[in-house]
């Protein structure tokens, strides 16, 4: 079933839209089934769980960290991820940069936007993020590559509102590029989950994060 869902999604997703299979709370065995069906990008939201899976699973998996990252866990995560999608404060970003520099690696990250009305309290507002780039504070980074934005839509059946949220995320990336036209590789728009990825892709997502539709319900 997992393999079928992976294959179905790979065939349904338009060219240029990548799939992050969100495997949090699911065992290594489930990830292996998806891996054998051709999936290589997996998303995890807890550091300990990600590190355990890194050790257990094939080394060509690209791990994306998608949860709230506590500052005391940063050091152990550096060097393990292909992308940290959930940078939600400048303080966290500074810490990632320092630890990456110390470790001699460049860490690729996305800036998390907070646009949903309820949901998580984590993330930058569009205005905060645009100010960060207008003021060129990113120039202080030495060992971090800012690769784009990530965000979630409101958790609602109101698809107009979901679409508006996604549009704000997409447009914030464009406004950032207007504010800092010399920014290179700020290309990723990560948005869309099991219930809303069609709308997200419509609004410009090029990286969807899908868990439940692939692996079933999570047992917390």
Q: Which is nearer to ligand PLP, 20 or 141 (CB)?
A: 20
Buried b or exposed e, range 157-175, using 16+ CB within 10 angstroms: eeeeebbebbbbbbebbeb
Taking the complex as a whole, the smallest distance from the CB of residue 213 to ligand PLP amounts, in Å, to 6
Measured at the CA of 81, the angle between CA 30 and CA 55, to 5 degrees, comes to 50
Does residue 193 belong to the site contacting ligand PLP (CB under 6 A)?
A: yes
Taking the complex as a whole, the smallest distance from the CB of residue 5 to ligand PLP amounts, in Å, to 11
Q: Which is nearer to ligand PLP, 24 or 108 (CB)?
A: 24
Which range in 1-9, 47-55, 139-147, 207-215 contacts ligand PLP by CB under 6 A? 207-215
Does residue 22 belong to the site contacting ligand PLP (CB under 6 A)?
A: yes
Residue 19 backbone dihedrals phi, psi, to 5 degrees: -110, 125
Which range in 7-15, 102-110, 124-132, 190-198 contacts ligand PLP by CB under 6 A? 190-198
Does residue 211 belong to the site contacting ligand PLP (CB under 6 A)?
A: yes
Which range in 68-76, 96-104, 123-131, 188-196 contacts ligand PLP by CB under 6 A? 188-196
Q: Which is nearer to ligand PLP, 18 or 98 (CB)?
A: 18
Using the rule CB under 6 A, which residue among 54, 66, 92, 96 binds ligand PLP?
66
Query: What is each CA distance from 80 to 14, 75, 180, in whole angstroms?
Result: 28, 10, 29
Does residue 100 belong to the site contacting ligand PLP (CB under 6 A)?
A: no
Residue 16 backbone dihedrals phi, psi, to 5 degrees: 90, -5
Residue with nearest beta carbon to ligand PLP? 211
Which range in 27-35, 57-65, 127-135, 209-217 contacts ligand PLP by CB under 6 A? 209-217
Does residue 45 belong to the site contacting ligand PLP (CB under 6 A)?
A: yes
Write out the residues near ligand PLP by the rule CB under 6 A: 22, 24, 45, 66-67, 193-195, 209-213
């Amino acid at each position: 079933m997992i393999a079928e869902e992976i294959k179905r999604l790979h065939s349904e997703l338009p060219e240029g839209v990548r799939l992050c299979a969100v495997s949090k709370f699911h065992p290594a065995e489930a990830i292996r089934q998806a891996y054998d069906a051709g999936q290589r990008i997996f998303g995890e939201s807890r550091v300990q769980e990600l590190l355990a899976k890194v050790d257990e699973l094939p080394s060509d998996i690209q791990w994306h960290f998608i949860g709230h990252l506590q500052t005391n866990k940063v050091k152990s995560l550096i060097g393990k991820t292909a992308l940290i999608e959930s940078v939600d404060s400048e303080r966290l970003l500074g810490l990632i940069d320092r630890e990456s520099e110390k470790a001699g690696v460049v860490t690729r990250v996305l800036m998390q936007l907070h646009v949903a009305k309820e949901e998580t309290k984590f993330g930058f507002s569009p205005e905060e993020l645009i100010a960060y780039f207008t003021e060129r504070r990113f120039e202080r980074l030495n060992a971090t590559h800012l690769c784009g934005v990530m965000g979630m839509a409101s958790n609602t059946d109101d698809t107009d509102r979901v679409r508006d949220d996604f549009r704000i995320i997409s447009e914030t990336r464009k406004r950032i590029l207007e504010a800092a036209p010399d920014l290179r590789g700020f290309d990723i728009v990560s948005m869309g989950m099991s219930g809303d990825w069609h709308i997200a892709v419509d609004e410009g997502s090029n990286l969807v994060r899908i868990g439940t539709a692939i692996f079933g319900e999570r047992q917390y």
